[in-house]
Amino acid sequence: MTTLGFIGIGNMGAPMATRLIDAGHELVIFDTNSERATSLRGKVVGSPKDVADAAEIVLLSLPVPDAVRAVIAGPEGVVHGSKVKIVVDLSTTGRDTIVAMAQTLAARGVTLVDAPVSGGITGAEKGTLAIMVAGPAAACDVARPFLESIGRVYVVGDAAGQGQVMKVLNNLLSATAMAATAEAMVVGAKAGLDARTMIDVLNASSGRNTATTDKFPRSVLDRSFDFGFRTVLLHKDVKLCRELAESLGMPFGVGRAVEAAWAHAAAELGDQDFTRIVEVLERGTGVVVGKSPEAAIAAPAAAK
């Protein structure tokens, strides 16, 4: 049995931490919300430093880059811990933040493993997340058994930051699919097409994507809008991808249009579920996509 540190017991962190506990590991836990922290079977401590004083391996699952910087390098940050040797960041922070934090930790003899995840709350609960790992091989090898408790490991590079590159590219494509599908569905509804029929046809045709196979069936057509990811965070991810492209001197024409769509949605929706972008696009049209429970369809088994 290994004692692990875990910081960030949110929508994604809680199920990932639970899987590690169920796999037989003892967890030392910190979260700014003490209720969330005490909801798990683990030892709750008062600061990130306390976690790093108690565990050689500390995992982070945090919502934004500033939170990662504060948890790692703040006055009571992980970097000041006496026992920590490896920090595994499961967050989506962007390349610049993770590279800077890797350097901060390295100055204290601590290695950072860049390991953002994809698959949503359902993937976190079922242990089917895609984990995009990058960092020194020795540290990645140490972290792998723990990571395999929460998903499938894909080693994408040997330096911190490369995992973040892979993650923001993935989220750009996911965000593009959702924004484009939402717009297409609203246009189709305005033209008199049935929402369920549209999804059936798209999923049998070349327009099929993650929004048509998963997000619309699960969270839009029944108007539940409960997929479990905040609009502001998806906008943050697309913005991080745009910043990456700019830093590389790359064009980002389609991406800029997608970022603009999510900036508008985030301004209206804030912390509400990102699937509500459909409601933003519906406003003023006189139509509602999947306006009754009867219009909903069951999600494919693979998406459950």
Please tell me the distance from the alpha carbon of residue 2 to that of residue 116, in angstroms, as a whole number. Answer: 22
Tracing tokens 């050689």 back to the chain, one arrives at 56
3-state secondary structure 150-214: CEEEEEEECCCCHHHHHHHHHHHHHHHHHHHHHHHHHHHHHCCCCHHHHHHHHHCCCCCCHHHHH
The span from the CA of 39 to the CA of 270, in Å, is: 26
Which DSSP string corresponds to 230-255? Answer: BHHHHHHHHHHHHHHHHHTT---HHH
Provide Rg for the chain, Cα atoms. Answer: 20
Q: Which amino acid is at 223?
A: R
H or E, element range at 131: strand 129-134
DSSP string, 87-124: EEE-S---HHHHHHHHHHHHTTT-EEEE--EESHHHHH
Q: What is the spatial distance between Cα 175 and Cα 29, in angstroms, rounded to a whole number?
A: 32
Q: Which of 49, 167, 215, 236 is catalytic?
A: 167
Distance, CA of 270 to CA of 287 (rounded, Å): 23
Q: Is 167 a catalytic residue?
A: yes
Strand partners, 4: 27, 57
284 Cβ contact partners less than 8 Å away, ≥ 6 residues apart: none
Which residues belong to the active site?
167
